[in-house]
Amino acid sequence: MSSEGGPSGRVLALDLGEKRIGVALSDEARLFARSLLVFKRSSRAADFARIGQLVAEYQVNLILIGLPIRLDGVEGSKAAWVRDYGTALTRELRIATEYWDESLSTVNAEASLAARGESRRKRSGRLDAVAAAMILQDFLDSRLNHGGNVVDDPGSP
């Protein structure tokens, strides 16, 4: 437990895309998020193995998955795919998994990187990791300020 009485331990955040997965990591106290890496998706088995390596390497005790909720608040087919992926990941790695609304995270990440003066080419290689960090920081800030607003997941352990 952290000094505030809330949970502690590193959180690994995933921004799942069709071609790439952006990854971010929290500190032990769950106060700050940082972009970690982007890797190319292949098979679920290969993806899960790579994520499992990161979980072990960074001693992660929670995986946070960005959930694409439409601006009208409805979960579409992409959200269903993300939930299916997350359920399979949870079973494979046997680690707690939660979902967090990722609305506009990629747009905000693009704007943030552009504001820093990064070239479009350099931005494209980091974009998904920065989006994952934005999702994670929103989750951490919400937990710190209000106790959180996790998107329901009846399948989480």
**Hey, what CATH class is 10-146 in?**
alpha beta
* pLDDT tens, residue by residue, 95-148: 999 999 887 555 555 556 555 665 555 545 566 888 899 899 989 988 877 654
- Delimit the domains of the chain by residue range: 10-146
pTM of the model: 0.79
CB atoms within 10 A of CB 142: 15
> 94-129 burial by CB neighbour count: b if 16+ within 10 A, else e?
ebbbbbbbbbebbeebbebbeeeebeeeebeebbbb
| pLDDT tens-digit readout, 6-20 | 578 999 999 998 899
Q: Name beta bridge partners: 24.
A: 13, 35
The gap from C-alpha 46 to its chain's centroid, in whole angstroms, comes to 18
* DSSP 8-class letter at 19: S
